[in-house]
Amino acid sequence: MESAKLFWSGRSQAVRLPKEYRFEGSQVRIRRHGNAVILEPVPAGWDWLAKIQGPVDADFEAAATEELPHQDRPDLDTLFE
C-alpha cells in the first residue's frame, strides 16, 4: 500500500498524490464511504448521461453549463451570519 503526504493550503487540507494517482482536469468529486474518502474524476462531457437517459441535446447542455450572474441578496446574508 502506498501513502500520500498531507499538507495545508490556506485553511484547506490537501493531499499530494503520487504521479500514478494523478487526475486530468482541475476538479474531482469527493465522497465518504465509512472511513474512506473517495476521489473520482469529474466527467468532461455529457457522455455519461447518455447511458442513463439517452443523448443530450444542445439546449440541455447550454442550460446546464450557463453561468448565471452574481446576485446581491443582503436580506439572505443576514440569515446566515
Q: For residue 29, which of 6, 7, 48, 8 has the smallest C-alpha distance?
A: 48
* pLDDT score of 22: 92
pLDDT along the chain (81 residues), means of 10: 91 93 90 93 78 80 87 81 67
* pLDDT score of 75: 83
* pLDDT score of 81: 67
| DSSP states along 12-57 | EEEEE--GGG--SSS-EEEEEETTEEEEEEPPSSSHHHHHHH-PPP
Stated pTM of the model = 0.51
* pLDDT score of 65: 85
Q: Where are the domains of the chain?
A: 42-67
* Cell, residue 19: 504521479
